Structure 1
Amino acid sequence: MTVSETTSDPTDGATPSAGTPHGRRRALSLRDWLDRLANRDDVAVAREGLALKHQIAAVAKRLDGDKATFFPKPDGAHAIPVISGLVSDRGWMAEALGVPQDQLLAHFQRAAANPIPFNEVTAAPAQEVVHTEVDLLGQLPIPTHNEHDSGAYITAGLLISRSPETGIQNVAIHRCQISGKNRIGVLLLPRHTDHYHRMAEKQGKPLEMAIAIGVDPATLLSSQAIVPVDHDELEIAGALHGRALDVVKCTTNNVRVPADSEIVIEGRLLPDEREEEGPFGEFPQYYGERARRHVIEVDAITHRRDAMFHTIVGGGLEHLLLGAIPREATILNELQRSFPGVRDVHLALGGVGRYHLYVKLDKRQDGEGKNVILGAFAAHYDIKHVVVCDTDVDIHDPREVEWAVSTRFQADRDLVVIAHSQGSKLDPSTRDGVGAKMGLDATVPLDAPEMKYKRIRIPGEESLDLDALMSGASDWRARLKA
């Protein structure tokens, strides 16, 4: 095995990054975010030596949404620790990006609309150690998550590729099965990475790529942006940070990766080559099937001297929220173009952050709720069920939405059903992704008498100072005798 370690200052030769607009908080780096969580006891540190097969994933899932997890010396053999659950709460994601939670979607919308070109540096923490002879499982602590997963998987790596024609990059997260010392099986959905690969394959050439593991929350979130082809998501990451993102050229190809990445796997998507991949536990909390998939051949691994390996447990809150938040921002944009009364959207976690959409609408015309439903289905093919509510309903509270459906919806009047439409291929109830969609208009009719749908309230309830009004005692019998 060939290993080299750089000793140069990672900032040598770097161009100063663009400044942040006055008053804006910058998004936190991965290590600063971990420090923030640890300082308030939101990081759980496991004992040394937990097993990479199932045990690490089991602990991370048990603490999902409660604490981030840190696993030192996984399997008792790896110096590189595993981390998980870094952004398994919507409020955590907003905090890591430096914005209030109620401004999270608007912040992401602005970043997607105003990307900042990245800043290339000549040396970086991500390349402090370079392995040119590769043994993926020997050099990296890659967990096996679920009972029937086909092996160890990289689940939190940003797969970065370059267009063979324009050189513009694409960033996405794909499930990556370790198939050999230097081979990875990867599921490519028919989107941008697959588009670039088909372009290269027509030329009989491999597609240069890299997998960046262990990036900051803003860069992680940017990878899920829904943008047209030839829009580099690392530029959206820069906008989320409020400054150009530092990137570095890979040691064996022309792909640029985040300079502060913990680990980078450099390689090529091979032309005209497919191997068995799967099954793997996916976000709907079912297994994605086994099939012949694309193949990556790895040329090098680079990492920090004190690197950490980030893993995302399939179907956990971190997985669901990373997919949901960028989709919400995109769907909100699409709906507001045609329906100015749309105030907010929410992809419910009960719908795995993909399939169930709740919409808050300031309705101005009868029938508008049904049009919003149709617009939502057009905004993203994954959406299966839509509920449109009035502005007095908290669409982030499933009980509120269920209440609106139970008291404002009538199936013979307010139901929309569309048969034989494109949905998610990972939804096992569809026929290869073809299924039905349903919309529920749970808004109040505009001609309804004022008191018919007026919500009950007790004056002063919201402003009560309970500590001042309650005695704090629990012995009611003593009070009864008094």
Structure 2
Amino acid sequence: MSKNLRTYLNQVKKLLPDQIKIVDKEVEPEFEVSAIIEKLENQGESPMVLFNNVKGSKIPLLINLGANYDRLALAIDSDTKNIVFEYGKKEQNRILVKEVSTGPVKDIILKGSEINLNIFPIIKHNAEDAGKYISAGPTLMKDPDTGNQNLGLYRLQVQSKDELGLFINPANHGFLIGEKYRELGQKMEVAVLIGHHPTVIMSSVSKLENYGGELEVAGGLMGEAVEVIKGETVDLRVPAEQEIVIEGIVDPQLTRDEGPFGEWPRYYTGRGERWFIKITAITMRKNPIYQTVMAAHDEHNILGALPIMGSLIRRIKAVLPTVTNVNLPLSGGGRVRCYISLKQHSDGEAKQAAFIALAVVPNIKHLILVDDDIDVFNEKQVLWALSTRFDAREDLIMMKNCIGSHLIPTAFDITKQKHGNMETKLIFDATRNVTPHLNGKPFPKMARVPVEIVNKIVPEEYLKECTKNFEE
């Protein structure tokens, strides 16, 4: 049986049973679903939740799948310790899609007057969102020059029963493809993919070298080819095991008001004139599962961070094999702050890693470089290195007027008078110089108890409960 959302849910149920919950009680699509997830997050809990009774829909809703690295590691047959390396390796070892003649996504086909987004349990996530949003629907499109299919995760605002607002970051491949169609004076066919094995949505966030290749990356991550089938009304090959596919047309000459929406920086940003999708068909399984991402919360940050980290370590190591790890911490929304560790052999080598990272991921705003004795997933260690190995006079690089994340409130345009997609980047080099420079002496060693002795210690063999009365 091909891997899909359902095989993955069964895998979680078997191996991580405490991490999947069911809600049978009727819930409101506006805020009640998201309020439950936020309450759980505030309590330090991150289960994925299947809501079987969302008011106004007969279709169940799955949310918070990507709010936990344990579950994402399971999806790529890894563990949390090796998840970044495994993602990067499997992203490289792509598997071509396999075209098939039929699949469950064609169980139900809606066209013309049958098209109605209101059948789905689409929710309103946060208080000041402009409306209901599809937040877990990677959008498939074709590059007009190469014919390659490109998949990217963009936000989609429900604007009518057969129209979706489409907002794409100007730095993303999808936007550049849309601009090609606009310049050609042509309309762009798209397909919104909802509900599949987590590797499909993760691959849509990967930072690949060229247009397209994401479904092949999903195959590499799953360990098997993604089966695809021709769309009903668009010349695109869509995954046959998808829960739901929404096909449509974008005219890049036309825009309408879209937003605001609570985004991954956890602010309401990005209102303006955007493209929109005119839906031409909806295909889906019998009894489909509708999936959404909990926007502007942990799931939004974690689900986006892992694919980017995997892409980063793969692409940096292709140039600098001495890089040992990469982290996009949640303290930076899983996007704008980056920690890179490496075993430096030449002075200045660390900065090369920073330049590559900034080119691959324009969203990165602050980048901290550390030696390989620092665990980049331990923020205490990273900040200790910054405090003791970094001097702003020598080790700080400021890069002005760089393309960045337009969703960050402090981003500006070239005039510096309005909001835009430009930022000032900072590189903090908290690595030790390879060549001795501190009074001609090597950098001091970290104070440690001898490692070989620490490794032999089993605390339970020494410690016992304290029963002593200190007043006797």
CA distance 1:192–1:82, shift in 2 (3 Å) = same
**Distance in 1, Cα, partners of 2:401 & 2:168:** 24
CA distance 1:162–1:368, shift in 2 (3 Å) = closer
Aligned to 1:20: none
* Larger displacement relative to structure 2 (448-457 or 272-281): 448-457
Aligned to 1:416: 397
Structure 2 residue 435 is matched with structure 1 residue 442:
no
Q: Is the 8 A contact 1:169 1:230 kept in 2?
A: yes
Aligned to 1:290: 271
Residue deviations 1:132-165, cap 9 Å, x none? 2345442111000011100000000011112344
Aligned to 1:106: 85
The one-letter code matched in structure 2 to 1:215 is H
**Distance in 1, Cα, partners of 2:354 & 2:185:** 44
* Larger displacement relative to structure 2 (99-108 or 151-160): 99-108
CA distance 1:90–1:339, shift in 2 (3 Å) = same
* Cα distance, 1:307 vs structure 2: 1.1
The one-letter code matched in structure 2 to 1:288 is T
* Larger displacement relative to structure 2 (177-186 or 360-369): 360-369
Aligned to 1:68: 48
* Cα distance, 1:50 vs structure 2: 1.0
**Distance in 1, Cα, partners of 2:182 & 2:330:** 38
**Aligned positions of 1:293-312 closer than 5 A:** 293-312=274-293
* Cα distance, 1:462 vs structure 2: 4.6
**Aligned positions of 1:107-146 closer than 5 A:** 107-132=86-111, 133-146=113-126
SS in 2 for 1:276: strand
CA distance 1:195–1:410, shift in 2 (3 Å) = closer
* Cα distance, 1:288 vs structure 2: 2.0
* Cα distance, 1:175 vs structure 2: 0.3
Aligned to 1:465: 458
* Larger displacement relative to structure 2 (149-158 or 54-63): 54-63
**Distance in 1, Cα, partners of 2:85 & 2:385:** 26
Aligned match for 2:10, one of 11, 35, 52: 35
The one-letter code matched in structure 2 to 1:453 is K
Q: Please, what is the CA RMSD of the aligned residues? A: 2.4
* Cα distance, 1:246 vs structure 2: 0.7
CA distance 1:288–1:31, shift in 2 (3 Å) = same
CA distance 1:477–1:220, shift in 2 (3 Å) = same
**Distance in 1, Cα, partners of 2:216 & 2:314:** 19
SS in 1 for 2:257: strand
SS in 2 for 1:272: coil
Q: Is the 8 A contact 1:135 1:182 kept in 2?
A: yes
**Distance in 2, Cα, partners of 1:197 & 1:442:** 40
SS in 1 for 2:251: strand
Structure 2 residue 160 is matched with structure 1 residue 160:
no
Aligned to 1:455: 447
* Cα distance, 1:327 vs structure 2: 2.0
Aligned match for 1:331, one of 312, 324, 330: 312
SS in 2 for 1:376: helix
Where structure 2 has 5 or more consecutive residues not aligned to the other structure, the ranges are 413-419
SS in 2 for 1:101: coil
The one-letter code matched in structure 2 to 1:307 is P
The one-letter code matched in structure 2 to 1:123 is T
* Larger displacement relative to structure 2 (125-134 or 387-396): 125-134
* Larger displacement relative to structure 2 (355-364 or 228-237): 228-237
Q: Is the 8 A contact 2:403 2:423 kept in 1?
A: yes
* Cα distance, 1:468 vs structure 2: 4.5
Structure 2 residue 128 is matched with structure 1 residue 148:
yes
Q: Is the 8 A contact 2:432 2:443 kept in 1?
A: no
**Distance in 2, Cα, partners of 1:221 & 1:302:** 22
TM-score normalised according to structure 1 size: 0.87
The one-letter code matched in structure 2 to 1:122 is S
The one-letter code matched in structure 2 to 1:87 is G
**Distance in 1, Cα, partners of 2:79 & 2:130:** 40
Q: Percent identity?
A: 29
Structure 2 residue 335 is matched with structure 1 residue 354:
yes
**Distance in 1, Cα, partners of 2:358 & 2:118:** 45
**Distance in 2, Cα, partners of 1:194 & 1:373:** 25
**Distance in 1, Cα, partners of 2:309 & 2:285:** 34
* Cα distance, 1:99 vs structure 2: 2.1
Q: Is the 8 A contact 1:268 1:298 kept in 2?
A: yes
Where structure 1 has 5 or more consecutive residues not aligned to the other structure, the ranges are 1-10, 12-16, 18-27
Aligned to 2:61: 82
* Larger displacement relative to structure 2 (162-171 or 260-269): 162-171
How many residues align structurally? 453
Aligned match for 2:255, one of 266, 270, 274: 274
**Distance in 1, Cα, partners of 2:253 & 2:210:** 23
**Distance in 1, Cα, partners of 2:321 & 2:223:** 28
Q: Is the 8 A contact 1:134 1:181 kept in 2?
A: no
* Cα distance, 1:323 vs structure 2: 2.2
* Cα distance, 1:211 vs structure 2: 0.6
**Distance in 2, Cα, partners of 1:228 & 1:454:** 39
Q: Is the 8 A contact 2:75 2:222 kept in 1?
A: no
* Cα distance, 1:223 vs structure 2: 1.1
Residue deviations 1:63-119, cap 9 Å, x none? 3462111111101x3111111111222232122111233433333333333322211
Q: Is the 8 A contact 1:187 1:294 kept in 2?
A: yes
SS in 1 for 2:249: strand
Q: Is the 8 A contact 1:408 1:444 kept in 2?
A: yes
Aligned match for 1:216, one of 197, 202, 208: 197
CA distance 1:263–1:419, shift in 2 (3 Å) = same
CA distance 1:195–1:372, shift in 2 (3 Å) = closer
* Larger displacement relative to structure 2 (335-344 or 246-255): 335-344
